[in-house]
Structure 1
Amino acid sequence: MNDEKYRYKELADFLKTRRAKILPSQVGISTATPRRTPGLRREEVAQLAGIGITWYTWLEQGRPIRVSTQVIESLSKVLLLDKQERIHLYLLANQPLPVDIPGYQGTVSPILQHVLDSLIFCPSLITDQRWNVIAWNKAAYFMFGDFCEMNVRERNIVWAMFTDNKYKQLFVDWNLHAKGLLGRFRSTCGQYIEDSWLAQFIDDLKMQSGEFNLWWPLYEIESNSEKYKQLNHPIVGILDFEVSNFDVSDNSGLKLIVHTPLPETDTAAKIQSLFVEKM
């Protein structure tokens, strides 16, 4: 058997074994009578994955047919593949591996945290490539809330903007800022469009936010970073900031976001008063 035929046979066997491991109830199929064989039927997999039964049968027969990335993703979801199994399916289908958005694990270095803490009256955050806030200073705590009390999803900037009602009160002209944020988020998603985390995140946001559900299909892209931000803080009122974004130069994909009080405004003094207020 040549290498190509062997790969198709391996693909066929892999699909069959994984199909046999899935209980119908795991994918929402109710069965009134006992089955003679375990797992899902071929026609059930084909229907759930949105592909033709004949075409899927050919796959399990090891026929030399090309499998697209869309089909791989559909089969991965139907067959409940974990990360390593999904990668293996891509390799067997002779498709390039999908690029996932790396999530940042752990905490930032003490040096990086010291940089944040040194920006005393500048609310500053560090985010990962999924737009999760992973580090912050006290001024950011005063502006955006206690990140320690939030779960990972609540600390996501995009999620918070569209699901946390206090952000709609905090941002002056929330619609403008939310649309801009969405455009910048979308511009960073292109290379990760097949990432399973991203797909689930977008689906969940569509369910939670009417504005996100309305604006996401518009495909508006905004690559430029935000320059200015005006916030209406519940204690000290209107605050004006210049916003700067910096890449952390350790190949981690982290970003430092600094909100600098706009000169010739009373923003710095108001932030300073928050430190006194909270003492």
Structure 2
Amino acid sequence: MSSLHASEKALGLYLRNARQKLDPAALGFPATRRRTPGLRREEVAQRAELSVTWYTWLEQGRGGMPSAAALERLAGALMLTDAEREHLFLLGLGRSPEARYRQDTDVTPRLQRVLDRLDPSPAFIRTATWDMVAWNRAATELMTDFALLPPEHRNILRLIFLDPRSRTLHPDWESTARFIVSSFRMDTARAGAAEAVEPLVAELCAASFEFRALWQDRTVHTFGHGAKTFHHPVHGPQAFEVSTFAVDGRPDLILVIYGEVS
């Protein structure tokens, strides 16, 4: 059996298993007598707005490679969790789904414990729209005490462009600002959050001519080799190696760790 056919068969089995776990009555379908548990294939196709024939082929392992958009619709139709959705993409496309914007930014106690154990290395978790959602003590000491800010103000772009202390904290402020705006643009587009961040972009354009100029410049900038220097008002210059990691099961969240350079 070829590897392609094997992956198509695995995808079909996964779809069928997920379909059979759903309660038809809870989803508004008639509670008629059914030979097998769960939804029928045509009901899944209806919920996902896909062809019944093509969905049937997918379950039979002969539907070909689905698009990311089709997999997204299937994940919604089958009410998959984030981990299940990721597995669906791995089976269907051989890769994880792209990050997507979501309003739910709650961080589990387990993730907060991970951040706390990383101390004294500054570490935090941000969203695709660069909102800070969790941090450890070292991050507050280096950057600011985010707990004292209203949730809507815990945004890294706000700190860079609207907090005058950022120009002292970042000796390479101009290159930092270029990198953050470029990354913010790419991250929000990738996550489908371009419309959601329009109010923030409008506010920053009005409040900072530097942000407005960078936002209007569509050039994509790189940040170099992952090293970062801060000038702390108390501790003086501090050099870090910056590492970023996707959060397992939450591709919309990014873990950032500043490891001090000895």
Same fold? TM cut 0.5: yes
The amino acid that maps onto 1:101 is Y
Aligned 8 A contact 2:128 2:253 in 1: yes
In the other structure, the counterpart of 2:138 is 139
The TM-score with structure 1 as length reference comes to 0.55
Q: What aligned pairs does 1:1-279 form with structure 2 within 5 A after superposition?
A: 101-106=101-106, 108-191=107-190, 195-222=194-221, 227-263=226-262
The amino acid that maps onto 1:188 is D
How far is the alpha carbon of 1:173 from its aligned partner? 1.4
Aligned 8 A contact 2:169 2:230 in 1: yes
Aligned 8 A contact 1:229 1:240 in 2: yes
Q: Deviations over 1:132-165 (max 9, x none)?
A: 1011000001011111111123211122111111
Secondary structure of 1:165 counterpart:
coil
Aligned 8 A contact 1:131 1:157 in 2: yes
How far is the alpha carbon of 1:189 from its aligned partner? 2.7
CA distance in 2, matches of 1:131, 1:154: 11
CA distance in 1, matches of 2:222, 2:102: 20
In the other structure, the counterpart of 1:56 is none
The TM-score with structure 2 as length reference comes to 0.58
Aligned 8 A contact 2:129 2:193 in 1: no
Secondary structure of 2:220 counterpart:
coil
How far is the alpha carbon of 1:256 from its aligned partner? 0.5
The amino acid that maps onto 1:181 is I
CA distance in 1, matches of 2:210, 2:186: 18
Distance 1:109 1:194, change over 3 A: closer
Aligned 8 A contact 2:125 2:132 in 1: yes
How far is the alpha carbon of 1:104 from its aligned partner? 3.1
The amino acid that maps onto 1:232 is H
Q: Deviations over 1:105-130 (max 9, x none)?
A: 33x11111111011111100011222
Aligned 8 A contact 2:100 2:251 in 1: no
Gaps of 5+ in 1: 1-98, 264-279
The amino acid that maps onto 1:203 is A
Distance 1:194 1:230, change over 3 A: closer
In the other structure, the counterpart of 2:64 is none
How many residue pairs end up in the alignment? 164
Percent identical among aligned pairs is: 28
Q: Deviations over 1:162-207 (max 9, x none)?
A: 1111111100110111111111111223346774321111111101
Distance 1:194 1:240, change over 3 A: closer
Rg: which structure is higher?
1
In the other structure, the counterpart of 2:93 is none
